[in-house]
Structure 1
Amino acid sequence: MYIKRILLAIVIGGLLIGGVFAYMVYSAFFTPNTKFNNEEAFVYVTSNASFADVKVQLEPLLENLDTFESAADRKGYSANIKGGKYRIKKGMNNNEIINSLRSGNIPVKVAFNNQETLQDLAGRISVQIEADSISLLKTFQDDTFLASNGFNDETALVIYIPNSYEFFWNTTAEAFRARMLKEYNRFWNDERKEKASRLGMNPKEVVTLASIVHKESAKVDERPRVAGVYLNRLKKGMLLQADPTVIYALKRKANDFDMVIKRVLYEDLELDSPYNTYKYVGLPPGPIAMPDISAIDAVLNREKHDYYYFVANVEKFGYHMFAKSLAQHNRNKAQYIRWINSKKINR
């Protein structure tokens, strides 16, 4: 009888211990464990993160970090960290949090436009994905990659078609570049290539001209007309005489692309640079900025006309006055010069 009582006590004790253990395991896995007030929070896990790094990010978000760590150990997550952007919803338990961190990598929208240099582009992208600006710039400027794909230092910016794209946050610099080359090849479909060919141009030349058109006019509806002027001049062998190319040449010479130049002076037109279209016939060696898709398509679908000149319209700001003859252009230009002098814009 005494032995039976001992055995019964052992059994009951074991059941109690087992019950407590089961409760602790259940609590560790299935009890809600968030403490933020918003509906959701996001965790950014770097590609080389350790479990300790993950815990640092999670600590402000969780009620009990110890139970999370216990559950993560049991599910094997603590030894198998994956980089990415992850969503944690309010009221999630540890099991759900770990499942999200394990397989819920969320794509992010990466957008860019109007970057003047590869350095600017690298900086813009680095705030949107894990790759830093230094690794991005080094990848963008890689001579082997550029040469193997028909580009060089002057035309490298052509690869990057401004738009909004979906990436995983932990995308590497090399993977970003590879995707952009793929998007470039997709953008230059047969229809666009055929239009470029009819102009006697290749895609790199179209983008180079589009960058000038983009800088000349912010008005999307006017860009086909501006493009038509430059294409007329190219066809006739005339100098493009585009002020934005001179501004770019001045910035390039000074190695200061933050320089603000509101007015091109006559002395600037003498700058010896292949980007100075007042001195050198034809297109510059590459784009002077990243043109919008609207500017690229403006070149491909240029307006057919007999204009060879244009100057800013001081009565309709943002637009231009176009002329077929130099005499007419000089009259339009005189009006613009009077206006700019009245504003005392010297540089």
Structure 2
Amino acid sequence: MAKDKDKDSQSYESELETKVNDAKIVRKFVFIILSSFIFLIAVGIASGYFYIKSALKPVDPDSKEEIVIEIPLGSTSTEIANTLEENGLIKNSKIFRFYLKFKNYSDFQAGEYTLTPSLTLNEIITELQSGKIMEEPIYRITIPEGKNIEQIAAVFAHKLSFSTEEFLEVVNDESEIENLMDQYPFLLTDDVLNNDLYMPLEGYLFAGTYDIFEEEPSIESIIQMMLERTNEIMQSKIEEVDESGFSVHEVLTLASVIERESKFSEDRPKVAQVYINRLDDNMKLQSDITAFYGLKNLKHKAVVTYDDIEVDTPYNTYVIDGLPVGPIASPSVESIEAVLEPEGKDFSKLFYFSRPNGETFYSDTLEEHNQIKEEYRHEWYELENQDAEDESED
């Protein structure tokens, strides 16, 4: 009997141990399944987020291609979205429709539209609602990238019914700036109220092509039109701005310097990285173009002099530490992106030198940099002399 009891006890313990082991296996299996499921959900959410984020951006921010589409009378939002996607004006028709519902947009106008892949969803929607694009613009004015506010004012004044001086008066009016700050709180911060700024909105008026449908547009409407474009661009890059460690004002400031200092697309991320490396090493940026801007009203020169770089201004990066107090011109999207996505920390160069033809050399040491300058700086003196001759002939 005792032996039978021992056998029963051993059998029970063995069965209990088996059940415990089975339970452990089941729990481990359930844990693996749940972990995999949660991981797949997380990957799906992240992928969906980045896919939607990408779909909300312009198809090609730099494209100037004009695409004509026809929106028939009575078209549904699905038909409009499909037409836009088929013509390469949006990335995804379904997301466009969801965006319309989310924003409660409707009342699109039938007709023929000329749009470009560089338009944001909001710009496309505005055009389809207003029907303005069905008309020929009265004015089509292009502001070249890298122009400062005085040059921008002169371009508009040449085409429209106001003077350069009138434009400058409005764009620098304190009450107007405060009104615009209320409209664009993300873009226009207290940075633009710094008394050291020569032009509070310098760098904030986006350089691009503008269609104007009024015979005599107000200066205020033009300024707002340009700010709207910059605001949309910077809003679309809000995460990159946060990750950069720069404020919006600082991004536009550094981008404006890169715009003026770099001629070719491939050099802009490199030049941006050089400046970031110098900032990280507490070195002065020493940008010629900032010294020129700080001198005010000085016509562009090809060669910087010792007298130029010794003038103490809030823009002269030969004198001040860090970035200039504000932008010196209107940067392109490309230069803005160079600040937000520079070449990378592996590109450790601290100096660069550009020839008049745009070819740029990068170096690690001042000695190497000076050798490059010695070899090519005569080209800048020749350009300076040629510019002087051209001016005398005019």
TM-score per shorter chain, which class?
0.5 to 0.7
Q: 1:169 — aligned with what?
A: 214
Query: Does structure 1 conserve the Cα–Cα contact (< 8 Å) formed by 2:294 and 2:316?
Result: yes
Query: Does structure 2 conserve the Cα–Cα contact (< 8 Å) formed by 1:240 and 1:282?
Result: yes
Q: 2:350 — aligned with what?
A: 308
Q: 2:154 aligns with which of 123, 133, 136?
A: 123
Q: Deviation string for 1:293-341 (max 9, x for gaps)?
A: 2222222221111111011358xx3111101222322332332346657
Q: Deviation string for 1:11-53 (max 9, x for gaps)?
A: xxxxxxxxxxxxxxxxxxxxxxxxxxxxxxxxxxxxxxxxxxx
Give the Cα separation in 2 of the matches to 1:341 and 1:321.
Answer: 18
Whether 1:285 and 2:343 are equivalent positions in the alignment is no
Q: Deviation string for 1:58-110 (max 9, x for gaps)?
A: xxxxxxxxxxxxxxxxxxxxxxxxxxxxxxxxxxxxxxxxxxxxxx9742323
Q: 1:9 — aligned with what?
A: none
Q: 1:60 — aligned with what?
A: none
Whether 1:336 and 2:367 are equivalent positions in the alignment is no
Give me the CA root mean square deviation.
2.7
Q: Deviation string for 1:119-165 (max 9, x for gaps)?
A: 32122113344454444322211112223513345441222111112
Structure 2 residue matching 1:239: 3-state secondary structure:
coil
Query: Does structure 2 conserve the Cα–Cα contact (< 8 Å) formed by 1:217 and 1:319?
Result: no
Amino acid of the structure 1 residue aligned with 2:284: L
Whether 1:326 and 2:380 are equivalent positions in the alignment is no
Q: Deviation string for 1:194-248 (max 9, x for gaps)?
A: 2222221122211111121111121122111111101111122210011111122
Q: 2:280 — aligned with what?
A: 235
Amino acid of the structure 2 residue aligned with 1:232: N
Specify whether residues 115 and 225 from structure 1 end up closer, same or farther in structure 2 by C-alpha distance, changes over 3 A only: closer
Query: Does structure 1 conserve the Cα–Cα contact (< 8 Å) formed by 2:146 and 2:332?
Result: no
Whether 1:296 and 2:336 are equivalent positions in the alignment is yes
Amino acid of the structure 2 residue aligned with 1:212: V
Amino acid of the structure 2 residue aligned with 1:325: T
Structure 2 residue matching 1:188: 3-state secondary structure:
helix
Query: Does structure 2 conserve the Cα–Cα contact (< 8 Å) formed by 1:210 and 1:298?
Result: yes
Query: Does structure 1 conserve the Cα–Cα contact (< 8 Å) formed by 2:272 and 2:343?
Result: yes
Structure 2 residue matching 1:158: 3-state secondary structure:
coil
Q: 2:271 — aligned with what?
A: 226
Any stretches of 5+ residues in structure 1 without a counterpart?
1-103
Percent identical residues:
28
Query: Does structure 2 conserve the Cα–Cα contact (< 8 Å) formed by 1:162 and 1:293?
Result: no
Give the TM-score normalised by the residue count of structure 1: 0.61
Any stretches of 5+ residues in structure 2 without a counterpart?
1-133, 182-188, 389-394
Give the Cα separation in 2 of the matches to 1:291 and 1:244.
Answer: 14
Give the Cα separation in 2 of the matches to 1:273 and 1:159.
Answer: 21
Amino acid of the structure 2 residue aligned with 1:248: Y
Q: 1:270 — aligned with what?
A: 310
Q: 2:92 — aligned with what?
A: none
Give the TM-score normalised by the residue count of structure 2: 0.54
Give the Cα separation in 2 of the matches to 1:233 and 1:338.
Answer: 26
Specify whether residues 130 and 345 from structure 1 end up closer, same or farther in structure 2 by C-alpha distance, changes over 3 A only: closer
Whether 1:207 and 2:267 are equivalent positions in the alignment is no
Pick the structure with more helix per residue.
2
Give the Cα separation in 2 of the matches to 1:187 and 1:301.
Answer: 15
